[in-house]
Structure formats: structure tokens, C-alpha cells
Structure 1
Amino acid sequence: MIDAIATASFERILTALREEIGAERHDMWFAKVKLLDFRRGRVTIGVPNVFFRDWILQNYSDDLRRISHAVVGIELGFDLKIDEELAAQHRKTIETDALREAMAEEAPANLDLTLKRFIERPENRFARSTVERLLGCSGPMADDDLVEKFNPLVIVGASGTGKSHLLAAICAMRADETGPGRVLRMTASEFTARFTMSLKTRTTEAFRNRFADIDLLCIDEFHRFRSKKATQVELRQLIVGLIQRGTQVVLAARHYPRETWGLAASIESLLLSGMMCWLEPYSATSLVEILRQRRSQGQTMASSDLVRRLARGAKGSVTELERRLARVRVLSALLGERLDSGFLDRHAEELDLDGRSVVNPNRLVLEDVCVHFGISVDALLSKRKLRSLTAPRQIAVYILRERRGLTFKEIGRLLGGRSHTSIHLMHKNGRSAIEADDALLKLVARVTSRAAPGES
């Protein structure tokens, strides 16, 4: 049973939050929540559904922690749980058909990932033409010099720019020529998992034999091999062997080899020995056109004005634009409000339609570092002592101390309540790592410029 003191403290936190974010946004997201538990520094809040839970965690978790410290003297942790009673009440107030339709928008369309369906725009023209030349130089009339120059082929681009689509297109066309059994496509995580399992089960030879009779190997998310030393050694030997016998290797990554921290020099050199092409982030105009062409005949296209406004804050990513569009549709249905110009005006700040909302620069540092290393912010802030989390924490601490000017105590609080000693050690080790690695220096500059434009 929740005592009166806990209830009063929770109400004071919500009142302070209301004063900070405004009555309209507070009433929209917190009027229908309830306190489920409050003990040992953690507060459990009941919410009506998954969408409310995810939205509050994404947009208000930092505010809740900060305000709780001001109200009760310590920074509380907040857990959100779907409450059946709230869920039943909320279901009665929304338009079920509209919600069902909106949720359907969140499911990605079953796109035919062929080169023909890859929509050409100025930002991807070079990459597309490179793939066309690669596919055109296969077969009995192939130009051996061109094949050698294109091996390995490395496709570089941010999330949502079409790397996976191009890989799928290459695999589909080559499978039509040689048969599906001679084409192998996987992610870096899948390769690592299979290789690790082969070591544990002593079936390494069987693992290697899987690549013996293939004509094409495509590996997506290549940047996720960073810091995996044993896997990189195995991977390099595999790629060198495949290239020597004429097997085409195609790799996709978010960063250039020299900008990928934790990549062995031998792997970096191997990637740079072939052909490299890039996919630039899309302009808002290109995003709108790509979305228009990707809509299947059975789907309705949102208003051009809405799509353009969403595209401006989509960071050049088709995936992000579609996610934002789905988010707007779901919010409209959940609130039972019609998706029209009035809705956009009322909720523009909440939805950040133009991508201009004020963000916490220190939180942005953590997010950017996590994106670079391929981990989640939750993992970074956790108490887990994993090798894969050591470097990201050190780099984040260094940036927060040297470029953001936070004290060790402030950084410790930001990183989940860590001690002054542990933060000091992370800072020391981070400084040493950065001074010895140009790629990390570039990362620091990039993250700093995003967190506080004008600083470097």
C-alpha cells in the first residue's frame, strides 16, 4: 500500500513538472497516470498503453529525474507500467478504427528491395551507379580489372539512406544469376554470433566451410565489428581468401573505415583497397519524393504540407521520416483528434515537427556517443561492467568534462550515480585513448559541435 507521504511527494513532482512544461502538455500525458509504487528510490507509474509509456520515457524521463531531485532531495528512478484499469478506461475514449489504421502505418511496407525499386535521388546517385557497374561486370563478359577494383565494395551512409536496400538488391540479382545457395547475406552481429558459437562448440571448420562455395558475401552494419578483435582477425582472413578466389564481397557501414573506432589497421587497409561509395543524407525535398514513390497503391499519402514539415526534422533519413509520420498518425488516433492543420498547430511543439525543439546538450553528448559505438543510452548508464561499454563511457566522460565543463560530481550524477573516483579514472583513460587515436579526436569534435554549435 502506498503511504500518504509517497503520494504527496508524487503529486508535488507532477505539479512542478506541470509548471515547467505547461498545463496543456501536462494534462495530455500525465492527467491519466497513477502512482503504482514508490519505494527504495524508484517510482512506478501506471499508464494506459505502450505508446504513452514510450512517449513519456523518451520525452520526459530526464525532466522527472531532475525535478524529483529538486522536490524530494534525491534523484529518483522512474518505471512506467501499463495499468489494466487505465487501459480499459482509455480504450473507451479513443476511436478504435482510427487507431488500428494508424498502427498499421507503423508496420513497414513489404517493399520489393530490388535495384529497380531503389529510388534515385542526387544524394544516392553515385552509390546506385556504382552498384549498377558492379552488377554489370559479372558474368562471362566481365572485366577482370573492374571486378578487382570493386572488391571489396564498401557502401557508407547514415541510418535510413538505403544501404540495406542496395545490399538486398545486389543479393537478389546475383542469386538470379548463380542460384540463392551461392549468395550469403548477414549482419555483423549475426557473423559475430555464429563465429563465437563455433568457438564455444569447437565447430570452427564447419563455420568456415559455410563460405567455401559462395559467389557473393554481403555483410550489413559492418561498423558493429569494432573492438571485436578475435572476430576481426577471422573476418580479415575470410575476406582475403574470398577475394583471392574471385568471390565478390560487399560491405555496408555507417562510418568510413578511418572514422570507425576500434577497427584494426589491417581491416581498415583491406577495406580501403577496394571501391568505396557513399550515400549522403537526403534533403527534405528528396525525402518527400522518396516517400511519395514508396507508398503502395493501397496506402493513402499524408498531406504534402505535413510530410514536408516532418521531413525537415528527419535528419536526412527515410526511416526517420516514416517513423515520425507514423508517430503523428498514432498520436492523432490516441487523442481522438482529427489529423488536420489545427492538430499540427496544437501539437507542433510536442511532436517537434520542424526538428527545432530545445534539447539537453549533455544528453545529446550521451546519445551521439552511443550511436557511434552502437549501444543504447540505457546500457551506457547501467551498472553493467562490460568491455563494450568501457570506451563509450570514457569518451562521454571526457567530452562532458573537457568540452561541456561539468564537474566530476555532475558527470557522476548524469551517468547513473557513479562515484567521483570512478569518473576521474574514466576521464584519465579517456584522455589517453583520445590522444592516441585520430578517429576518436574526430568523434569528440563532431559530438561537441552538435551539442554546442560553435565549440570544437
Structure 2
Amino acid sequence: MHTYEAHPYKAPEPSGFAEVSTTPPLHEVEAERVGLTDTASHHATTDSYVAAPEAPAAVPNAGGGIFPDQLPADQAMPDPSAPPAAGWESSARLNQNYTFDTFVIGQSNRFAHAAAFAVSESPANAYNPLFIYGDSGLGKTHLLHAIGHYAKHLYPSLRVRYVNSEEFTNDFINSIRDDEGSSFKQIYRNVDMLLIDDIQFLAGKEHTQEEFFHTFNALHNHQKQVVITSDLPPKQLTGFAERMRSRFEWGLITDVQPPELETRIAILRKKAQSESLNVPDDVMEYIASHITANIRELEGALIRVTAFASLNKQQVDLSLAEVVLKDLITDAGGAEITAAQVLATTAAYFDVSIDDLRSKSRTRTLTNARQIAMYLLRELTDMSLPRIGQELGGRDHTTVMHAVRKVSAQMPERHVTFNQVTELTNKIKQDQRQNR
């Protein structure tokens, strides 16, 4: 591992980026909340800011590898011995389960992992910004949190903030509504490392993009680290101004691919170990051979098998796995499962309407049905947490996260929950096969 000489963290003088716009009216930005903007009807924003200078050339890596071997003289590292920044532990919003130790490395993600590790070791000096793209459920969010955790471990005084695009949008809109624009800027421009997830959901949100544009400029110009994830590379993002896409390309762009068989098996072993599950190798190989595209569905299949065994006091073996997963494992040619399909099937199963699922009602029946719908949307589709919340009445992504965790925890313990999830999954998969 490379070592660096510690220096007090000192930002250079800002230059080159001038804001010439004013705060937009509240009624114009309210429509940009997640769930209210039809991104397909929007176009890239008009450039209304003073043009920024080109990004500085990257410092050559003397060692030839991915880790930087030499830091520019004017780019001092944060002081590792400095005390933690007051108040920034909670605002970092980091998931304690997502660290480099719990991340399984394979050929599909090795370069992205190495780049993420390098950024953690040398914030704003390795690759800035770091842009990671790939399909949902492949570990991008895990890497974001891992970067934040390890960077704070190395540099306790580092001010880190993780945020997804939904939270950024809502924070921006709320700051305008509450006339707290300066507070918003203090929060987002006073960090040393900004980790922003699912940037693609800012597409078409003109005012929010402009604010992020300035936030990005302010951070980059002060040599603060920015890490961004997306489902597509910058050049393929639609609904973004060219000036925004070009900034995404200033640093390093890397991707994560669906895991190969060996990595899928390793992921299952790691999951079994973390959950203290006793699962034979042939069962893990069976699951890994049939669930190929999504890590969430892969781990969900493992939990389903072990939950069934626990509820029925049976040993986990291959024959049991084949029975439990027979309707989960479908031909690769099956039609894509949609949110509409999941919600319609769930509503019919619980004898409620889709409007009921989306309503604010918190009766026991509706709450249970809604949480199971959230779990199924997370397991059976590639939808992000914010998008699932949007489908269920505009709920916050943390509500969805709570529902997914609750249902997952109940499955090995409650026959009713296990049967509801299994029967709904089977019905949805059967409809999927019929729609081929």
C-alpha cells in the first residue's frame, strides 16, 4: 500500500466559475421532485453560465498502475491525525454494511473497485470526478459507501456526504421553499467528498441540474472529491446539458458488469457467512448458475431457500432449492417484469386497489401489502429505491429500504410472510412467461 506525507488540508483559491443566474421561482422547481417530472418531455438545458475552463490535465502515474504514486506539490492531503469533523458523522449518511471488506471482487468489477479504493486513499488527487456506471443491482451504491467509509477511516477530519439524486433534488427544492438557499450551499459545497448516486434521475430537471452544476464546479475547483454513479456512461445520458456531461468525463469513467459465475458463487458465500447460514456448495452453485444478471435477485434466492428450510425445519439441499426456486428461475427470454405488473398482482392478491397501495392509509392490511410490494419491486426489477418510492405514492427511499429489510427479516420467521412473498413471486413469474 502506498503511503503519503500528511499535511493540513488547504484548498486553493477559487477561480474560473462564475454564477450569473438567480434562484428560480419555487413553482418552477417543485415539478422537479422525483416522480413529478416527465424526463422524456424535457430537453437539455440552455447554457446560462459563464463557460468554465477546461479541466486540468491529469498528473501522470509514475508507477504505471491505478494508484497515484506522486501528488502534485499544490495538492496537499488531509491530515490523518486531525480529529473528526464535528457534526459530519450523521450527515455522511453512510450504510455501515457497505464497506470494501464486504465487497466481493471479480473480473466484472475489479477495475471499478481499484479506482474506488484509489479515490479513498487519495481524495481529489487520484481521479476527480470518478464516474461509475452500470445496471441496477451490480454494486455501484456499495462502492460509493465503501469509498466514504475508508476515506473517513484514513482521514477522520474528512467531511463526507452521500446523497442520491432524489435527496439532492428535494434538498434543493426545500431550500428554495424555506428561503434557505445559503444553507443548502453550505451543506453541499462545504464537503471534502461528495458521493452522489443515480445521477441519471436528474435528467430533465433544469433548475436542479443548474444547482448541481455550480456545486460540482465549486467542489472541483477547490480540489474536493466527487464520485458519481449512473446507469449509463456520460455520453449516453439524455436530458443533460453538454456542459454537464463533459464535466462527468473530466476524471475517470469505469463500469461494473453483471458478475461471472465464480463471482456469483463468491457473493453467495459471503452472504451466507454474514448471515450465519449453512448452505452446501452445490446449492450455491445451483443458484449462481441460474440467477445471472442481478446481485439482489441472487441474494434474494439464497434467502428464500434458507427461509423455507428454517420455517419447515428442513436441511438445505439441492432438491429443496430446486423446489423452492422452480418458479423464480425462468428462461432468459422472459419478458421484463414491470412495476405495473407487480403492483397489479399485489393489489389483486390482497384484495385492494393500486390506488390503495399508493395512498397514505396506514391500516395493517395496506401497510403489509405496500411493504411486500416494495420488497418485490426491489427483488424482481432493476428499479432503484427512489423509483420504487415514487411508484408507491411518492414515498422516501428510506421508507422503501425499511420495508425491504423488514420483509427480508420476517421471511425466515413467519410462515404468512414467506407464503405471501412466494405466492406473489410465482404468480408474477408465471405471467412473465406467458408474456414472452
State the Cα deviation string for residues 147-185 of structure 1 (Å, max 9, x = none): 4xx111111122232222221222123223443661111
Instruction: Determine the structure 2 residue equivalent to 1:123.
Output: 108
Unpaired runs of 5+ residues, structure 1, are: 1-109, 139-143, 385-450
Segment of structure 1 superposing worse, 177-186 or 226-235: 177-186
User: What secondary structure, in the 3-state scheme, does the structure 2 residue paired with 1:166 have?
Assistant: helix
Question: Is residue 158–residue 280 contact of structure 1 (8 Å, CA) maintained in 2?
Answer: yes
Give the Cα separation in 2 of the matches to 1:322 and 1:166.
17
Alpha-carbon spacing, 1:302–1:111, altered in 2? closer, same or farther (3 Å): farther
State the Cα deviation string for residues 69-91 of structure 1 (Å, max 9, x = none): xxxxxxxxxxxxxxxxxxxxxxx
Alpha-carbon spacing, 1:302–1:275, altered in 2? closer, same or farther (3 Å): same
**What amino acid is aligned across from residue 208 of structure 2 in structure 1?**
T
Question: Is residue 114–residue 169 contact of structure 1 (8 Å, CA) maintained in 2?
Answer: yes
User: What secondary structure, in the 3-state scheme, does the structure 2 residue paired with 1:312 have?
Assistant: helix
Q: How does 1:371-390 map to 2 (within 5 A)?
A: 371=383, 375=387, 379=391
Q: How does 1:336-347 map to 2 (within 5 A)?
A: 339-347=316-324
Instruction: Determine the structure 1 residue equivalent to 2:140.
Output: 163
Segment of structure 1 superposing worse, 189-198 or 331-340: 331-340
Instruction: Determine the structure 2 residue equivalent to 1:206.
Output: 183
Instruction: Determine the structure 1 residue equivalent to 2:222.
Output: 245
- 1:335 Cα deviation from its structure 2 partner: 6.6
Give the Cα separation in 2 of the matches to 1:305 and 1:369.
27
Give the Cα separation in 2 of the matches to 1:280 and 1:310.
19
Give the Cα separation in 2 of the matches to 1:267 and 1:222.
11
Give the Cα separation in 2 of the matches to 1:372 and 1:186.
13
Give the Cα separation in 2 of the matches to 1:377 and 1:210.
25
Question: Is residue 217–residue 248 contact of structure 1 (8 Å, CA) maintained in 2?
Answer: yes
User: What secondary structure, in the 3-state scheme, does the structure 1 residue paired with 2:238 have?
Assistant: coil
Question: Is residue 366–residue 377 contact of structure 1 (8 Å, CA) maintained in 2?
Answer: no
Aligned residues: 265
Q: How does 1:326-345 map to 2 (within 5 A)?
A: 326-332=303-309, 339-345=316-322
Question: Is residue 287–residue 316 contact of structure 1 (8 Å, CA) maintained in 2?
Answer: no
User: What secondary structure, in the 3-state scheme, does the structure 1 residue paired with 2:211 have?
Assistant: helix
Segment of structure 1 superposing worse, 259-268 or 224-233: 259-268
Q: Give the structure-1-normalised TM-score.
A: 0.50
**What amino acid is aligned across from residue 327 of structure 1 in structure 2?**
R
**What amino acid is aligned across from residue 220 of structure 2 in structure 1?**
I
Matched, 1:284 2:264: no
Segment of structure 1 superposing worse, 268-277 or 341-350: 341-350
Alpha-carbon spacing, 1:365–1:341, altered in 2? closer, same or farther (3 Å): same
User: What secondary structure, in the 3-state scheme, does the structure 2 residue paired with 1:175 have?
Assistant: helix
Q: How does 1:19-418 map to 2 (within 5 A)?
A: 112-138=97-123, 147=126, 150-179=127-156, 182-296=159-273, 299-332=276-309, 339-352=316-329, 355-356=330-331, 359-360=334-335, 371=383, 375=387, 379=391
Give the Cα separation in 1 of the matches to 2:320 and 2:102.
34
Unpaired runs of 5+ residues, structure 2, are: 1-94, 343-379, 395-434
- 1:238 Cα deviation from its structure 2 partner: 0.6
- 1:206 Cα deviation from its structure 2 partner: 0.9
**What amino acid is aligned across from residue 273 of structure 1 in structure 2?**
W
Which structure has more helix as a fraction of its residues? 1
Instruction: Determine the structure 2 residue equivalent to 1:406.
Output: none
User: What secondary structure, in the 3-state scheme, does the structure 2 residue paired with 1:120 have?
Assistant: coil
Of structures 1 and 2, the larger Rg is shown by 1
Root-mean-square deviation (CA, aligned residues, Å) is 3.6
Which structure has more strand as a fraction of its residues? 1
Q: Give the structure-2-normalised TM-score.
A: 0.52
Segment of structure 1 superposing worse, 291-300 or 219-228: 291-300
Give the Cα separation in 1 of the matches to 2:385 and 2:268.
29
Q: Identity percentage over the alignment?
A: 23
Alpha-carbon spacing, 1:275–1:181, altered in 2? closer, same or farther (3 Å): closer
**What amino acid is aligned across from residue 161 of structure 2 in structure 1?**
L
State the Cα deviation string for residues 400-446 of structure 1 (Å, max 9, x = none): xxxxxxxxxxxxxxxxxxxxxxxxxxxxxxxxxxxxxxxxxxxxxxx
- 1:320 Cα deviation from its structure 2 partner: 1.9
Higher relative contact order (CA 8 A, sep 6+): 2
Instruction: Determine the structure 2 residue equivalent to 1:65.
Output: none
**What amino acid is aligned across from residue 116 of structure 2 in structure 1?**
V
